A and B are shown apart, each in its own frame.
Chain A
Amino acid sequence: MTSPLQITSRWWRTRLRRAAPWLTLAALLAAWQAAVVLHPRSLIPGPWPVLLGVVELAKKGLLFKYVLASLFRVTWGYLLAIALAIPCGLMLGWYRHCEYAFAPLLQLFRPISPLAWIPISILWFGLGDSAAIFLIFLASFLPVVLATMNAVRNIDSVHLRCGRNFRLSEAQLIWRVLFPAVAPQIIVALRIALGVAWLVVVAAEMIAVNSGLGFLIVDARNAGNRYDLVLAGMILIGLIGLILDIAMRRLEKLPSVQWGYIGAK
């Protein structure tokens, strides 16, 4: 029923859609290059020197080392935080008296920007990995606990009644009904928290430690205005952040949690 003409035009359209991102990307790079050519005395280097900067970092072995250092801190701080936060959040949402006892505490600490803890974390942990991990822990723990708690409190009571109806034990009810029911909301909170953790590690590394991508940026600027390395660091931060975000969005695509996002009310 579809004519060959229609098919070719559709073929071209899908091609164009596929190519559009790369075209804009190329345009962006060209604009960057043009801006640099037009302002020759600017401190900001063009795309080519930045690429050379990345190569230089890789040759010196710093690239791998810094990326690893940043990822190491984020991984520990974040994993520790969610390993504690999800069970705590489930408990707080499930048991009313737990909530009365601890929720106000969380509410007191939550609005204090994790970066405001920098001086104290340095005081407690010294300059080094532990201080940064502590900051990342703080940044991801509180949002995940609160989101989990709210998700449990807003759960559709029909699901719970249904579970009780089948005589599930309390532990079974939590594991087989409650947890899957709140999983979609927890995953969204986890993604947002990972984004914030990635933001915090950069800040922490600018101030509290001597390695990692955040340090790279500050150090490249302070030690000799190496703006090619500054931009290289920014691009690396962006790329890794993008990969983390894509990985978390993959989680949201899992069939067992998809229902939570369809027809969001």
Chain B
Amino acid sequence: MKRWQSRISPFLTAVLLLAAWHAAVVWTHTRIFPGPVQVLAGLKDLAGRDLLAGYVRDSLLRVSAGYLAAVALGLPLGLMLGGSPTAAAALNPPIQIMRPISPLAWIPLAIIWFGVGSGAAVFLIFLASVFPIIVATIDAVRSIPPVFRNAGQNFGLPSAMLLRKVIFPAALPQILVGLRIALGIAWLVVVAAEMIAVDSGLGYLIIDSRNAGQRYDLVVAGMLLIGIVGVILDSIMRRIETLKSVRWGFCND
């Protein structure tokens, strides 16, 4: 019974929402704001012009490039800083100063360094995700219960092995949460970056549709696509969190 309810209710809500949206558009006789039917037509239009797949692909490529670069730098750096208080004391100030600068505030500098184009967007995504990853990794390493570290040392593991077999797996559940949050922020920033710095991708689709002829059907279509891709990215990260070797960090027994 409960099961059935929780399965069916998302669809029910979605249908009700679509109906309410449609009704609101019909009743208010709005010319500008599109209803679900127009949005669907807009999506078809985009797909017909081969723009849909291209825009999604461009956005995804930019996010992957920036995000993976951030993971490649942030994860090792966070592990190191988490393990060594001296290194952390030394490197903390630049991190603490750069971290709260909204990544979008870098747009002018990104354009100077990389020109208008994908490079600038990738750089912004890198900036947006690298600090949350570093900070989450440091926190994760610092909150490892000392028992695990002591047990690891007791068996005489060389320090590289201690890192690989104890510190990293012990911190992993919390690191994964940080990685998921960082991916969410990266996805948020790519949209803004594409609105300002490039001429393709889903962010560009939204701002361009508005500026070039008030095509709000395409604006909403773009929003839907952003939502769908966002859900997919998030569920991939959550899937990783349910792997057996990290599950222990999430179940509260």
Please, could you name 17 A-B residue pairs with CB atoms under 8 Å apart, sorted by A?
A24-B91, A28-B93, A114-B188, A115-B188, A116-B203, A116-B226, A119-B206, A119-B209, A156-B252, A196-B188, A199-B102, A199-B188, A203-B102, A233-B105, A234-B101, A237-B100, A240-B100
- At the interface, yes or no: B154 with Cβ under 8 Å from chain A? no
Q: Which chain B residues (71-121) contact chain A, with CB distance < 8 Å?
A: 86, 89-94, 96-109, 112
A241: chain B residues within 8 A (beta carbon): 99-102
Asked if A105 and B13 sit within 8 Å, CB to CB, the answer is: yes
Stretch at the interface among B3-11, B41-49, B158-166: B3-11
8 Å CB interface, A100-119 against B:
100-105, 107-119
Given contacts A104-B10, A114-B188, A238-B98, contact A264 B90 (CB under 8 A): no
Interface size on B, residues (CB 8 A): 67
The yes or no answer to B123 lying at the interface (CB within 8 A) is no
Chain B residues whose CB sits within 8 angstroms of the CB of A235 once the complex forms: 101
CB distance from B222 to the nearest CB of A (A): 7
Please name all residues of chain A whose beta carbon is closer than 8 Å to the beta carbon of B188 when the two chains form the complex.
113-115, 196, 199-200
| Residue of A119, A198, A203, A242 most packed against chain B (CB within 10 A) | A119
Known A24-B94, A112-B230, A227-B108: A202·B203 in contact at CB below 8 Å: no
Specify the chain B residue showing the minimal Cβ separation from A205: B104
Chain B residues within 8 Å of A102, by CB: 13
> Are the CB atoms of B96 and A242 closer together than 8 Å?
yes
- The answer to whether A30 has its CB under 8 Å from any CB of chain B is no
Chain B residues near A264: list those with CB within 8 A. Answer: 143, 174
* B181 contacts the other chain (CB 8 A): yes
Query: A238 with B252: in contact, given A100-B9, A112-B223 (CB under 8 Å)?
Result: no
Is the CB of B169 closer than 8 A to any CB of chain A?
A: no
**In the complex, which residue of chain B has the Cβ closest to the Cβ of A139?**
B188
A244 within 8 Å of B (CB atoms)? yes
In the assembly, what is the distance between CA of A222 and CA of B174, in Å?
42
Residue A217 CB within 8 A of the other chain: yes
- A89 smallest CB distance to B (angstroms): 17
Report yes or no: B181 in contact with A116, Cβ–Cβ below 8 A: no
Cβ of B14 within 8 Å of any chain A Cβ, yes or no, is: yes
How long is the Cα–Cα vector from A164 to B218 in the complex, in angstroms? 53
For the complex, is B210 an interface residue (Cβ under 8 Å from A)? yes
A265 on interface, CB distance cutoff 8 Å = yes
Q: Cβ of B207 < 8 Å from any Cβ of A?
A: yes
Interface residues of B (CB under 8 A from A): 2, 5-6, 9-10, 12-14, 17, 32-33, 86, 89-94, 96-109, 112, 128, 143, 145, 174, 181, 185, 187-189, 191-192, 195-196, 202-203, 206-207, 209-210, 216, 219-220, 222-224, 226-231, 234, 249, 252
Give bound CA distance, A261 to B202, whole Å. Answer: 38
- In the bound complex, residues from chain A placing their C-beta under 8 Å from that of B93 are 21-22, 24-25, 28
Whether the Cβ atoms of A196 and B185 lie closer than 8 Å is: yes
Contacts of B224 in A (CB 8 A): 112
Residues of chain A with a CB closer than 8 A to B32's CB:
123
Q: Contact between A21 and B92 (Cβ–Cβ < 8 Å)?
A: yes
Question: In chain A between 139 and 158, which residues have their CB closer than 8 angstroms to a CB of chain B?
Answer: 154, 156
CB neighbours of A242 from chain B (8 A): 96-97, 99-100
Closest to A231 in B: B109
- Residues in chain B near residue A240, CB distance under 8 A: 100
Cα separation A115 to B230 with both chains bound (whole Å): 13
A100-B101 contact given A24-B94, A116-B223, A120-B219, CB 8 Å threshold: no
Asked if A84 is an interface residue, CB under 8 A from chain B, the answer is: no
**Residues 236-265 of A contacting B (Cβ, < 8 Å):** 237-242, 244-245, 261, 263-265
Instruction: Tell me, rounded to whole Å, the shortest Cβ–Cβ distance linking A249 to chain B.
Output: 11
A17 to B92, CA, bound (A): 12
For B222, the chain A residues whose CB sits under 8 A away are: 116
Residues from chain B with a CB closer than 8 A to the CB of A265 are: 249, 252
Q: Is the beta-carbon distance between A118 and B206 smaller than 8 angstroms?
A: yes
